[in-house]
Structure 1
Amino acid sequence: MAVIATIGKREVSADEVFPLLSSCGLWPQIMREMVIDRALCSLDCSFDEVEVYYRKQLADDAGFIDKRKRQMALEGVDENSLEFYIKRPVLLARFRETMFAGKVENTFLSMKTGFDKVVFSMIRNRNHELVRELYFRLESGEENFAALASKYSEGREASSFGQIGPIEMKQLNPVLARNLHTAQPGVLNAPIVIDGLGVITCLREKINARLDDTMRQRIITLLFDEWVKKEVEEYFY
């Protein structure tokens, strides 16, 4: 029973670790990290950059990096790989930026509609005749949307007087998203059928997505995750 790592006071064998990796569903994460390591192994960074990355830990403990290396060695990391794994977060940030930052703007423009947020009111009910009746009552001004939604809607919006959002368009049912994309704020939309339910909507507000720093990092992460998925499929399958 070969020991492959020391965790705390316990020596752990391959016979113990590998079944756990499988039963806990950790192999996909390991495959992901392996293809990332393949891409990062040809990169390098300065010790100054490493210190900047670990500045908080070093401020609390000047010996943090040396202690981290000793711990990794106990956990089975080869001595020749210790520097790489200390530098890995810095290298990963550089790789993501180098590979995908130039694609952010075009990606944002192609996906902007899905990133836009909407606030809207909705009533859903399986009784299509009832939905049509509710629509005419709303259109005539006989009833208000909040009251009817609270009483008749069969979705979670019943508890919020029919209001949903702000929510990104890409999180909505595609039919509902198309309905709201062409809607005018404050205008009652005629009933449509979605998944067997009669649906009345009224767009309240549309919040256009902006390419700020948060969105930029989100898109880089999206592109990076797509790249990793493709690399895993090519390398392992």
Structure 2
Amino acid sequence: MTTEALQIGNRTIKASELIPLLASYQMLPQLLRELIIDEAIAPIECTPQEVDQAKKQFYAEKHLTQEAEIQAWMAYHGLTASQLETITVRKLKLEKFKQATWGNKLESYFFQSKAKLDKVIYSLLRTQDVGITQELYFRIQAKEQTFAELAKEYSLGPEAQTGGLVGPVELNSLHPAMVQLLSSSQPNQVLPPTRIAEWFVILRLEKFIPAQLDEPMKARLLNELFETWVQEQRKQITSLRSEAGE
């Protein structure tokens, strides 16, 4: 029985060396993730039609149109035909697992998360001088100059390039103070200067865009629930290993 696993140039990698090597290359977390997924999707059944479709989709994604290209791809990755079939069906099984596990929870999860998923388009003008910001606010109120003109001239962030216009962006990507201000204002209402972190800002909500539970959103939320589950599984395994003294 040989313990050799891989020949790289003049170096022979033994099976016993693989785990330490994976650890030194910081690849063990990825390996653990894939093993968790394999165990989860093992019971998932696929019809022959689904398997055939999964293969076609996989080849299309990899731009493999000829048998010679498929064989070359397999050789490059060191795969057998059986291993390749496992890979092509794996994504299908994973999607079916996600749907079976969390598909009926998407609507409630969406409504729990909706406040963070809503989007806004807004105008922003920011400086680091409260006096200048106050003066600019008065100019906007008096209609001496437009918000866009003043943002281009005075705003100190990248929004100056767009006349202060930002978005659409999700509320969860903004500073909590900005979320509170924008969520409680009306479109086209110019808000008085406010201190946020190191900036003095003037804000104007342009448009509020409610999140919709459409197909892209369903796919996103399904992946969020799945990723949370994977992280929990990894923590449990890591905790058990720590308790075992490994």
Quote the offset at 1:40 in angstroms.
1.6
Q: C-alpha root-mean-square deviation of aligned residues, in Å? A: 3.2
- The separation in 1 between residues aligned to 2:138 and 2:87, in whole angstroms, is 65
Change (3 A) 1:36 1:72: farther
Answering whether residue 167 of structure 2 is matched by residue 161 of structure 1, we say no
Helix, strand or coil: the match of 2:140? helix
Q: Which amino acid aligns with 2:232?
A: K
- The answer to whether the 8 A contact 1:72-1:82 is kept is no
Quote the offset at 1:230 in angstroms.
0.7
Mark the runs of 5 or more structure 2 residues left unpaired by the alignment. 240-246
- The separation in 2 between residues aligned to 1:86 and 1:200, in whole angstroms, is 52
Output aligned runs, 1:67-216, within 5 Å: 74=78, 85=87, 87-216=89-218
Give the paired residue count: 231
Mark the runs of 5 or more structure 1 residues left unpaired by the alignment. none
**Which residue does the alignment assign to 2:47?**
46
- The answer to whether the 8 A contact 1:73-1:82 is kept is no
Change (3 A) 1:176 1:23: farther
- Structure 1 segments, 4+ long, off by >6 Å, are 62-65
Quote the offset at 1:185 in angstroms.
0.4
TM-score (norm 2): 0.80
CA deviations over 1:34-88 (Å, ceiling 9, x no partner):
11112122333233321121124399457999x69x769955x8x8x88755532
Q: Which amino acid aligns with 1:35?
A: I
CA deviations over 1:162-198 (Å, ceiling 9, x no partner):
1111111111111111111111000101111111211
TM-score (norm 1): 0.83
- The answer to whether the 8 A contact 1:116-1:168 is kept is yes
- The answer to whether the 8 A contact 1:41-1:84 is kept is no
Answering whether residue 208 of structure 2 is matched by residue 218 of structure 1, we say no
- The answer to whether the 8 A contact 2:22-2:28 is kept is yes
Residue identity (%) = 31
- The answer to whether the 8 A contact 2:54-2:88 is kept is no
Quote the offset at 1:4 in angstroms.
2.4
